[in-house]
Amino acid sequence: MPNQTEIEGLIINALLRRSFELAVSLSVKQMLRAKDYRVAEDITRRLMPFFQKLTREQASAFAEAAVNNATVWDAAECAKHILPKFLERCGDKLSEITAKSLRFQITERSRYKE
């Protein structure tokens, strides 16, 4: 039987094609509460094909959720593949401090402190 995260993932996958804004919003909420590396990777991987479509607001929300949850920025696939791809595609949509924090956290694998 699928768990709550898996069910939410199925719903979000369906929404990505029909209600993109809602799907992104739900994904960001999932990112904020992710406590498992594989779950964090699944959540962020799901949005990878849509990075180009993210608005400035959506990209900022995604980046801030990643910065604020160590499970997301420290998950191996997120740090090495997904988040660098996000920064490549959406870095210009982010505030300077958010982009700097995310870059630092995925390269240094520790929390950014000003």
**Tens place of pLDDT per residue across the chain (114 aa):** 777 777 777 777 777 778 889 999 999 999 999 999 999 999 999 999 999 999 999 999 999 999 999 999 999 999 999 999 999 999 999 999 999 999 999 999 999 987
How far apart CA 94 and CA 77 sit, in angstroms, is: 21
Residue 114 lies in a domain: no
How far apart CA 63 and CA 7 sit, in angstroms, is: 24
How far apart CA 66 and CA 73 sit, in angstroms, is: 6
Residue 75 lies in a domain: yes
Residue 113 lies in a domain: no
Residue 20 lies in a domain: yes
Residue 87 lies in a domain: yes
- Structurally, the chain folds into a number of domains equal to 1
Domain extent, residue 90, equals 4-108
How far apart CA 84 and CA 73 sit, in angstroms, is: 10
The answer to whether 111 and 105 have CB atoms below 8 angstroms apart is yes
Residue 97 lies in a domain: yes
